[in-house]
Amino acid sequence: MTDAQKAYIQALSDVRSWHRWQISQSLGDVRTMEAHETAIAWLDLLIATKKQHAAEDEAGRQQSLESRTSD
């Protein structure tokens, strides 16, 4: 995973943490809690997708490196 990819995923994780904190501060306001839970679910999906893309990119880089060294 590149440094840029790590930084992006960390930023998404930080936003996710903020939403978790907002839920704890919502004092039982159901609509607020649901909005933050929806945001967290979306961020979880986005983070998982970004991690998958990073893994695929890394596999592609490794494959490219291996094909260059075998020539």
DSSP state of 28: T
Q: What is the DSSP letter of 1?
A: -
Q: Are 38 and 19 in contact (CB under 8 A)?
A: no
Q: What is the pLDDT of residue 36?
A: 97
Q: What is the pLDDT of residues 20-64, one digit of tens each?
A: 999 999 988 999 999 999 999 999 999 999 999 999 999 999 998
Q: What is the pLDDT of residue 71?
A: 64
Count of Cβ atoms closer than 10 Å to residue 1 Cβ: 14
Q: Is 70 a residue whose pLDDT tops 80? A: no
Compute the distance between CA of residue 65 and CA of residue 20 in angstroms, rounded to an integer.
41
Alpha helices, H only, the chain: 3-25, 30-70
pLDDT of residue 66: 86
